[in-house]
Amino acid sequence: MQYSARIYITLRPSVLDPAGVAVESGLHQLGYQEVAGVRIGKYIELKLNSDSETTAKEQISQMCEQLLANTVIENYNFELIPLS
Amino acid sequence: MQYSARIYITLRPSVLDPAGVAVESGLHQLGYQEVAGVRIGKYIELKLNSDSETTAKEQISQMCEQLLANTVIENYNFELIPLS
């Protein structure tokens, strides 16, 4: 069965995010004073063939641990959508 | 009222994604042969004070158009979550 996975990788809350600070400052300069707490992460989409949803979830967790996320400083989350 | 916004910025389907291709090749080398169509985008979280949900949505669309996304090559989507 084929699945579409949406993976969200975010910096852990205790880790500084200089890019987020820069974007927040840019938004303030454009006049969006009401914005706060900007954090920038990664969004990865992929397609996966797998026997079952459980296997697919395990595979994606492993991919995140091994390659996609740096678990020392990042958290990950994902959604799995069956395609067909 | 305060809202939390989750913004997803993705490359348009017609635009090449060399980083996605590299990650896909890395996953194949790690043994995940069943993965295809890897695309890498950005995930931005921010907090926003706004009078109404409609205003908040308009503001976020404007921020995406003006600063967060490059609409020539990228699409954006967002979710708004009321926080109190």
Q: Do A42 and B39 touch (CB under 8 A)?
A: no
Q: Do A63 and B37 touch (CB under 8 A)?
A: no
Cβ-based contacts under 8 A for chains A and B? 94
The interface predicted TM-score (ipTM) is 0.91
Residues of B in contact with A42 (CB under 8 A): 40-43
Q: Do A49 and B34 touch (CB under 8 A)?
A: yes
* Cα nearest neighbour of A29 on chain B: B67
Q: Which CATH superfamily is domain B2-82 in?
A: Phosphoribosylformylglycinamidine synthase subunit PurS (3.30.1280.10)
Domain residue spans of chain A? 2-82
Per-residue pLDDT of chain B (84 residues; tens, 9 = 90+): 999 999 999 999 999 999 999 999 999 999 999 999 999 999 999 999 999 999 999 999 999 999 999 999 999 999 999 997
CA of B5, closest CA in chain A: separation in Å? Answer: 10
With a CB cutoff of 8 Å and minimum separation 6, the contacts of A68 are: A7, A9, A42, A44, A76, B23
